[in-house]
Each structure stands twice: as structure tokens, then as C-alpha cells.
Amino acid sequence: MRRFSIAVVAAVALGSALPSVPAQAHPGRPSPGLAQCAAGTCHFDVPPGTYDVRVVLGGTAASATSVSGETRRTLLPETTTPAGRHVTRSFTVNVRTPEGEPTGPEGTPGLDLRIGGSAPALADIRVTPARHTRQIFLVGDSTVCDQPGDPYSGWGQQLPQYLREGVSVANYADSGESTVSYLGNPRLWATVRPLIRPGDLVLVQLAHNDKTTDEATYRANLETLVAGVRARGGQPVLVTPIVRRWFNPDGTLNNGTALLVNGLGVDHPAVTRSVAAARKVPLIDLTAKTKALVESLGVEGSKALYLYNEARDNTHTSVRGATAYAGLVRDELVTRHLVPKGRMRVG
């Protein structure tokens, strides 16, 4: 890939729009990317690939700035900066086509970064090709994917905000997919598998749509995914599915719908745990983690994690819920030494 570097150097406070000619932080030096920033969005005309992004935040007034990009991925959580100070943050972003769900629309070519937050202020932004990056591929369903519109959000859409420069998320989760359909659709597993490089992580969470998949098939499909990742030199990680928000009268989650036991009696989390143990694959037991969190919040408190208030939806998560669940994944990646702690953003 040819060497690419665009810098936007500006001392501006972003309100409803980026000024077309902001004050330059370094007078007399060119700022070739300024024309690409407007209305709170910076667009970089780059080909598909992986890019490091460095932002300098802050200005004369106190500020609070976040960065999102592509299909509503949260890349940097809201970061506060005292008046008269600047802070530098870096992250790595995956640019691809389609830019969101693999079976969805192509999206906008290039890289789009949106500057948000309660009091945003951008002092500098620089985008360069990433040279030493480890990818975290996500194979999953609608509870993981880059959801295209509010109020929906998958946990994979929120995971990038917890990663520092050098590790990026390539979210190939897709709405409505089961282990059967993910393996069978050429835009899914057949597309992801050749992209895996030695050392990459591949997190697999598929179960919500395996409603008619028998146990032997479900087990075999997970094993196929594991073997395919290993054949490419990657590190498979099996992830049990997030719970559905269905309570028993005593305030616990029920053992069927909530904990992903399908109509055939297949206990998807149990089978996933079994495959992980048999194949010596790292396991993130997100079922157990999300169950504990939902039950601790209770019937009322847990509504905010899902889209109950908006759509009476007890399966799909809000931005708040997806962010909380992505945090659980982040913690497990560190605890299991799958990603170095230094590559993770704690707060």
C-alpha cells in the first residue's frame, strides 16, 4: 500500500460545524486536510485498509470530545480536557466495503470520523496507514454487529473505544445469522477467513438465530469455525451469547429463552463451553457475565441495557447496553491475556 498521510491541524471548538478556515496551530505550515472537515465530520479519501488515527483534543475552554466513525462505531469515548490544555489520543480503525454489516449497503468510500461529545474541541487530527496492527475479527449476529441506525447498537460496535493504537476491530457480524447461514453465505465466512493473519484474534458469538439447529450440527459448525481460524494462523475465541432479558417471577432470568436454549432443547452456551474445552479454545462466557449484570440491575434497572422502552425489545441492546457488554469483553480479553493490558483503554 502506498504511503498516505493527511493531517488536519486546527485549534477549533466544534459546535454544529467545523469552520472551513480554522486558526492554525502551526502558523505558516500547510494543513492539507482542513478542506475535508465540515459539519463535525472529517472525511479521508483512503482505500480499504487499516489506519492509525491520532487526535489532539482541547483548546482555550474546557472540553469533552468523543470520536466515532464509519457505521456508528465508537472509536474514542468522551474525553475531558481542562481549559488551556491538550491531550493526545490514538486508535486504529478498520476501513472496508461494506463498511458495516457484510450483507448491508456499501456505505461511504474512504474513512469518515465524526467529532462529538458534550463540548467537543479538536486541535489536531492525523491519519496514517497502520504498519503493525493486530486485528480482532468478530463473527456474530445482530447483538454484535455494527448496527446502522439508532437506537440499536451491537457490542462489537462499541468495542473499538476500549482499544489503543495497534489493535483494531474488524466487525464482520451480521444481523440474522446462525452458525449455518454464516458458514453458508459467501459474503460472510468465505470472505472473512482469507483475511485472517497469524496472530489475529477471531471472536465467535453465534447462537441467537440457531433456533432450529440441532446440537450435533451446532457443535460441528463451531468446530469448523475454530479449525478455519487455526488453519490461517489466527487465535479463535469462542464467546457465549449475551442473554435475553426475560425474567422469572423471582427476579432471575429464565433457563430457556433468556439463556439461549432453543426449541430443540439445545443449550447453546453449554455446547459452546464444551467445544471450547474439547478444542482448547479460549472462552469468554458472556452469557454468565451478562446474566450476572442483568440480574443485579433487576427488572426495571436492566431495561436501559436493552431496547425495552423504545421497542419492547429484550434481545437487542441500546448504546448503553452494548457499551457495558463490550466492557465485559474488554475485561475478559485482558484477564485471559489475549490482548496486552497496555493496548487496552481503561477509562
Q: d(Cα 294, Cα 244) in Å, to the nearest integer?
A: 9
Please report, in tens digits, the pLDDT of each residue of the chain (347 residues total). Answer: 333 333 333 333 333 333 322 323 333 443 445 467 688 899 999 999 999 999 999 999 999 999 999 999 999 999 999 999 999 999 999 999 999 999 999 999 999 999 999 999 988 889 999 998 999 999 999 999 999 999 999 999 999 999 999 999 999 999 999 999 999 999 999 999 999 999 999 999 999 999 999 999 999 999 999 999 999 999 999 999 999 999 999 999 998 999 999 999 999 999 999 999 999 999 999 999 999 999 999 999 999 999 999 999 999 999 999 999 999 999 999 999 999 999 998 75
Q: d(Cα 45, Cα 36) in Å, to the nearest integer?
A: 9
Q: d(Cα 75, Cα 27) in Å, to the nearest integer?
A: 29
Q: What is the pLDDT of residue 312?
A: 96
> What's the grid cell of residue 315?
434481545
Q: What is the pLDDT of residue 9?
A: 33
Answer whether the bond into residue 98 is a cis peptide, omega within 30°: yes
Q: What is the pLDDT of residue 1?
A: 35
> What's the grid cell of residue 101?
454489516
Single-letter code of the amino acid located at 150: D
The label of the residue with cell 468478530 reads 138
From the list 303, 307, 328, the residue with the least C-alpha distance to 316 is 307
Q: What is the pLDDT of residue 347?
A: 55
Residue 173: alpha-carbon gap to chain centroid: 10
Q: d(Cα 299, Cα 180) in Å, to the nearest integer?
A: 33
In contact, 126 and 54? CB cutoff 8 Å? yes
Which helix (H) or strand (E) is 335 found in, with range? helix 319-335
Q: What is the pLDDT of residue 60?
A: 95
144 by DSSP, 3-state: which? coil
Q: Report the first-to-last Cα separation within the chain, whole angstroms.
A: 33
The label of the residue with cell 463490550 reads 326
- Which residue blocks in 198-305 are alpha helix, DSSP H? 215-231, 268-279, 286-301
> What's the grid cell of residue 323?
457499551
Q: What share of the chain is helix, strand, coil (3-state, %, to 5)?
A: 30, 30, 40
Q: d(Cα 258, Cα 255) in Å, to the nearest integer?
A: 6
Q: What is the pLDDT of residue 35?
A: 61
DSSP 66: E
Q: What is the largest CA-CA distance in the chain?
A: 70
Report DSSP letters for 189-212, one per residue.
HHHHGGG--TT-EEEEE--TT-TT
From the list 234, 313, 244, 316, the residue with the least C-alpha distance to 281 is 234
Domains and CATH numbers, the chain: 6-129 (2.60.120), 134-343 (3.40.50.1110)
Q: d(Cα 127, Cα 111) in Å, to the nearest integer?
A: 9
Reading phi first (left if > 0) and then psi (alpha if -120 to 50, else beta), residue 188 is in alpha
Q: What is the pLDDT of residue 123?
A: 86
